[in-house]
Amino acid sequence: MTLEKNLEEEQKVQKEIFDAINNFKSFCLNAGAGSGKTYALIESIKYVLLNKQVELHKNNQKIICVTYTNVAVNEIKERLGNTEFVLVSTIHEMLWEQIKVYQNSELINLHKKELSDELKNIQKKIEEYKTDKNLSIIFGNNFESFLLSTKGIKKLFFQNKNVKACEFRKLFNNYQSDYAYLQQALKNVNNFKELVKLFYRKESHIKALQRINKPQERKKIKIQYDNNFNSDRLPLMMISHDTLLKYSYSLFELYPMFRRIIIDKYPYFFIDEYQDTNKNVIKLVEILHRYAADKKKKWLVGYFGDDKQNIYNDGVGSDIFTIHRDLKKINKQFNRRATNQLIELINKIRDDDIIQKPINPECINGEIKFFYSKDLDNDNQINKIQRFISQFEASIPDNQTIHCLVPVNRLLASLCDFKAVYDSIWDSEIMFWDVFNSQFLSKQHDKLHPAVFFYYRLVMLYKRLKSDRTTYYDILGETNNNVTLKDAKKTIKSLVDSINEVTNLDQMLKGLSSVISQKNIGSSNSAIKYCLNHSLSITYSDIKNYDTFYEYIKDTIYTNMFGDENENSLIKEKNNNMIQEILNVNLTEWLNWVSFINEERDDNTKVIYHTYHGTKGEEYDNVAIIMEHDFGGTGNGKNKFKNYFSHIQCSKEEQEQKLQDENYKKQLENTQNLIYVACSRAKKNLQILYLDDITEIKDGLEMLFGEINEFN
């Protein structure tokens, strides 16, 4: 086949999509890496615009295109050009735009139910404390009423809730003459603290529900979605990403009106990277499809993606056809990205009904090299990787870059010079190993752990305050007329001066706290309020129970990291020490971590390190992949790659027998997808270094990569 013939064949696939669009037949395009999925999506949108724009304009309708990240949104917008007939956004932004206008009834009713359900959970936890012999006395003496009605005690509690037990007991000395039972209740200070927090949480939820139940108050309420915050703040009427999906699904399921609005307004609904889309979103779209069919409406959804590139835990992957039935399946076989050698490799890895061919048969100048190391000294891994990269560099032109994929996060942190940040977060044990990659190293901020994202925002505030290129908007966001240029300039200068000599986050927070005091934060200085809200998503009401901003931040960090679970004094002390260790890490390492998250690099960078997941959707001329038996080292990552290569060298009968175990099958598919995504990033040159003993899996490695050589 020639390039011209292949281009003709490729156009037949695009025509199949166009025919589906013409007939309002919902479809799923499944296309391998480098096949031009985004091109197919853009061409589909352009086709609708070319043939249906007049009709769209007449009916006040638009095409909607949702994708996985803001980076992808910007790419699609850039490739489409300016048009008023296409809405391109992430799924969260799109759903929020659709539901946020229904504040006074449907949305608030859902929020009311969520508050009520959470209140029941809180009450259930409170009831559990009745079994504590020291705290049971509280329930017979109307302690909750004392707690909520005594002036100043709430502030006293939150300012001192992390002090040692002996100091905490002294705070209640003045109350024990009137409330004698406090002496017994305070015998277990940690349980007492946890119960008090539950009472205050209960109070905040009850007050929120009371506001909703009062007609005049209800009119003032607005549910807010904060895409910079990764957890709910229900009493403040603020929801996070997952709750937004939950509310949206409920609204579409409960109210036909929502289905009708979307279908009438957006007759063409395109979803990019479908394999990474949350199952609840697919369920929601399936509801729309079913409703449109029942009402004989002209409406379609077109999914674009590749189920073999599903590497995220919450992505639908190949389950899409189980959840959303009656979709026309369209496969795309051509690869526009890679040389023939690389295409042969990734065909072996994916091993399904998509067998890719190079769009240009003459594209044959690729190279694949596989090395293994007999030297199993783990302490020497960094040096080994650097020598491997140097050898790779010597084989390519000086002006080219190598993109190196690293399977172990600790290795990547060392290579990128933020190992102290990594170690301090890892030691805190706030996340499990299997989500550490996404919750600590993700380029998508909404994937980061709430505590990690809070550290990110602190470092970004430091970075902006120290940069000469920072604008007032970068620090303050959009302000009203009550902030003058003089106020803004004075405030930012004070903040900059407070962090001039700091070397870690702890010093930075103390410096900021010296400026953000009770006196300064009042109505006379709105600029600081805007700074707190825009840069850190903090409002004054959040900190008013604390004497200093520093105390509030430490408490916020503790809650984000360890929650409100019942803990003894030793654990509390250990956790506070961990936080201090994190805050004491040098800011240079924090800035290196932020640069990794933000993908900031200069033109002279020769080697760029990535996690496997972080390269999703990317393509590079030169790719280095570091492999070893494990992927993460524990749990499902233990022997992850070793098990895969061991499996593929088994007989077909052995493979089929092992695949009867659903968990084994799921883990194997995930590993296959991970290796597929990693290897398919390369356009020309791919080199792999395996840092473990390959004796038991040599046949499996040779089946995929051909000749393998010892790295010397």
Stretch (H or E) spanning 56: helix 37-58
Annotated binding residue 34: yes
Place of tokens 């003058």: 484
Residues paired with 330 in a beta bridge: 29
Among 285, 274, 272, residue whose Cα is nearest residue 326: 285
Q: How far is residue 359's CA from residue 340's CA, in Å, rounded to a whole number?
A: 9
Residues paired with 279 in a beta bridge: none
Annotated binding residue 317: no
Annotated binding residue 38: yes
Annotated binding residue 35: yes
Largest CA distance in the chain: 94
Annotated binding residue 293: no
How distant, in Å, are the alpha carbons of 114, 198, 207 from that of 121?
11, 10, 16
Q: Is the dihedral of CA 335, 49, 307, 353 positive or negative?
A: negative
Among 552, 553, 572, 570, residue whose Cα is nearest residue 562: 572
Contacts of 582 (CB under 8 A, 6+ apart): 421, 424, 425, 428, 455, 505
Amino acid at 130: K
Asked whether 59 and 298 are in contact (CB, 8 A), the reply is no
Q: No. of H helices and E strands in the chain?
A: 34, 16
Q: How far is residue 492's CA from residue 474's CA, in Å, rounded to a whole number?
A: 11
Annotated binding residue 413: no
Place of tokens 């002090």: 163
3-state SS string for 210-222: HHHHCHHHHCCCC
Annotated binding residue 33: yes
Among 446, 451, 437, 441, residue whose Cα is nearest residue 563: 451
Amino acid at 258: F
Q: How far is residue 243's CA from residue 246's CA, in Å, rounded to a whole number?
A: 5
Asked whether 258 and 288 are in contact (CB, 8 A), the reply is no
Q: In sequence order, what DSSP letters do the residues of 118-146 get, joined into one string?
A: HHHHHHHHHHHGGGSTTTHHHHTTTHHHH
Asked whether 329 and 294 are in contact (CB, 8 A), the reply is no
Q: HSE of 594 in the Cβ direction (CA atoms, 13 Å)? A: 17
Q: How many CB atoms lie within 10 A of CB 544?
A: 12
Please, what is the Cα angle at 130 between 127 and 133, to 5 degrees?
165
Q: Bin 28: left if φ > 0, else alpha if -120 < ψ < 50, else beta.
A: beta
Asked whether 239 and 224 are in contact (CB, 8 A), the reply is yes
Determine the 3-state secondary structure of 77 from DSSP.
helix
Can you say how many angstroms the Cα of residue 622 is from the centroid of all Cα atoms in its chain?
27
Annotated binding residue 637: no
Residues flagged as binding site for ATP: 31-38
Task: Enumerate the known binding-site residues.
Answer: 31-38
